Amino acid sequence: MNNDTICALATANGIGALGIIRISGDDALPIVQKSFPAKKLEKQKSHTIHYGYFMDGDEAIDEIMLSIFLAPKSFTTENSVEIAFHGSPHIGKRILETLIKNGARMAKAGEFTLRAFINGRIDLSQAEAIADVIASENEASRKVAINQLKGGITNEISLLRTDLLNFVSLIELELDFAEEDVEFADRTALNSLLNNIELKLNSLIESFQYGNAIKNGTAVAIIGKPNAGKSTLLNALLKEERAIVSSIAGTTRDTIEEVLHIKGHAFRLIDTAGLRETADEIEAIGVKKAKEKVENANILVYLADAATRDFSDDIEMIRSLLREDLKLIICATKIDEVIPTQYEAIEDVFRDAIAHEFDFIKISAVENQNIQDLKNELSSYVEQLQSEESNVVITNQRHFEALQKSLDAVNKVKEAISFQISTELLAYELRNALEHLGTISGEVTNNEILGNIFSKFCIGK
């Protein structure tokens, strides 16, 4: 990483009341000073705000407020300046051009956060949490990201690494005295420690399913035969006319995706084409897409028309779509159009025919009957994923893979102990476990990983 001074727009592009430009680096103050004659910046205290005009030579570009953050008490730990200007994109562009002319350069994506990591202000998992905070779209994802930013994952990993390091040191000592055939590390105590670490790693790994649901939303495929009420249900859930509703079968030819928030959790609702054999080429493509969406969905909401006498086609379709990890909710629809005796036995029909656990709800999307029951079932699915054993939730695929690799290494150490395999192998696998845990916080990393992580940040962060 270069030590030159960088600058970038920190606020979103477009017109707004205010815009903010950030400058960070050893020469941040003198570079800004060239365009801010109102105050001698190097004589000002840290965390102070100053009023004046930002100049390009003799031309005043804008009336600004300028904030100073002196090293090491800044986000990057470097001298930093933030310029608040009137939120015109043209003004922002002129200020950046002037700063570059004064000696700064445009920051790369995520470069401010990268400098904070390189300079030791935050670790790698906290840097990734910053991106998650910015991208959070619901209350649950915000809470998890803030917990990670406060060091939740780091603290858990640090405890595990400290325990492992103590034993690695003793194992390494044994290697130094290999000719004396001495044993410094108590194998029984080591095995007990490994069992405890295995439990903690498993708990973190299992939290990823919940974390992934929080971060990316839970995919819910709404499936059924043509005219079963799929689009009407989507509109009822969203409380808006999002999908075209018609009594003509086959109206929906493509998938429609919308996000619904329930109790702080995001659900990606997918309204699909009605499932049936069809000679219509376009409708057939829609049916194929519908089946593909179910393959990637977490929840299948299958709609069965309550007025139907024969559910054999529905049952056959559900069986073809099921998989072990898929949550199934069967809804008897249009109950407002039939008398109770016509739909009271429908649940029993499906229970007798489908060897898969499911929830059954009788609904009328038109009359909004029992729609809240469906929302509650969706919400309970996510809530049941949450582990009660750990307050830390894994939302990052990279962290998940590192934890899995560390767990594999721990299991290999346990095998080595049980089979009384050489100290060299114990030391090797213990180092592997430590290394994989270290990649999460950034204690062990490489430029390729850093480049991949920070390239996904927005410029200015």
Residue 252 is assigned to a ligand binding site = yes
**Residue 179 half-sphere exposure toward CB, CA atoms < 13 A:** 0
Residue 446 is assigned to a ligand binding site = no
Cis ω before 37 (30° cut-off from 0)? no
Residue 272 is assigned to a ligand binding site = yes
Residues in CB range of 31: below 8 A, 6 or more apart: 5, 23, 99, 102, 103, 104
Residue 228 is assigned to a ligand binding site = yes
Distance CA 96, CA 5 (A): 13
Closest CA to 203 of 253, 134, 153, 263: 153
Residue 263 is assigned to a ligand binding site = no
Residue 205 is assigned to a ligand binding site = no
* 122 φ, ψ (degrees, to nearest 5): -135, 160
**Strand-pair partners of 330:** 302, 360
Residue 319 is assigned to a ligand binding site = no
Across 70-172, the runs of DSSP E, i.e. the strands, are 80-86, 105-106
Across 215-345, the runs of DSSP E, i.e. the strands, are 218-224, 256-262, 265-271, 299-305, 327-333
Q: Which region, left, alpha or beta, applies to residue 301 given φ > 0 means left and ψ of -120 to 50 means alpha? A: beta
Whether 461 and 10 have beta carbons less than 8 Å apart is answered as: yes
Residue 231 is assigned to a ligand binding site = yes
Whether 396 and 128 have beta carbons less than 8 Å apart is answered as: yes
Residue 206 is assigned to a ligand binding site = no
Residue 98 is assigned to a ligand binding site = no
Which two tokens mark 124? 């790698």
* Dihedral, CA of residue 84, residue 85, residue 91 and residue 92, to nearest 10: 20
Distance CA 24, CA 348 (A): 67
Instruction: Give the SS3 label for residue 91.
Output: helix
Residue 273 is assigned to a ligand binding site = yes
Residue 255 is assigned to a ligand binding site = no
117, amino acid identity: F
Distance CA 348, CA 412 (A): 49
Rounded to whole angstroms, the maximal C-alpha distance in the chain is: 87
Residue 274 is assigned to a ligand binding site = yes
Which two tokens mark 147? 């917990």
The size of the chain, in residues, is 461
Distance CA 295, CA 291 (A): 7
Residue 251 is assigned to a ligand binding site = yes
Residue 250 is assigned to a ligand binding site = yes
392, amino acid identity: V
Instruction: Give the SS3 label for residue 382.
Output: helix
Binding-site residue positions for K(+): 227, 246, 248, 251
Binding-site residue positions for Mg(2+): 231, 252
Binding-site residue positions: 22, 82, 121, 227-232, 246-252, 271-274, 461
Binding-site residue positions for (6S)-5-formyl-5,6,7,8-tetrahydrofolate: 22, 82, 121, 461
Binding-site residue positions for GTP: 227-232, 246-252, 271-274
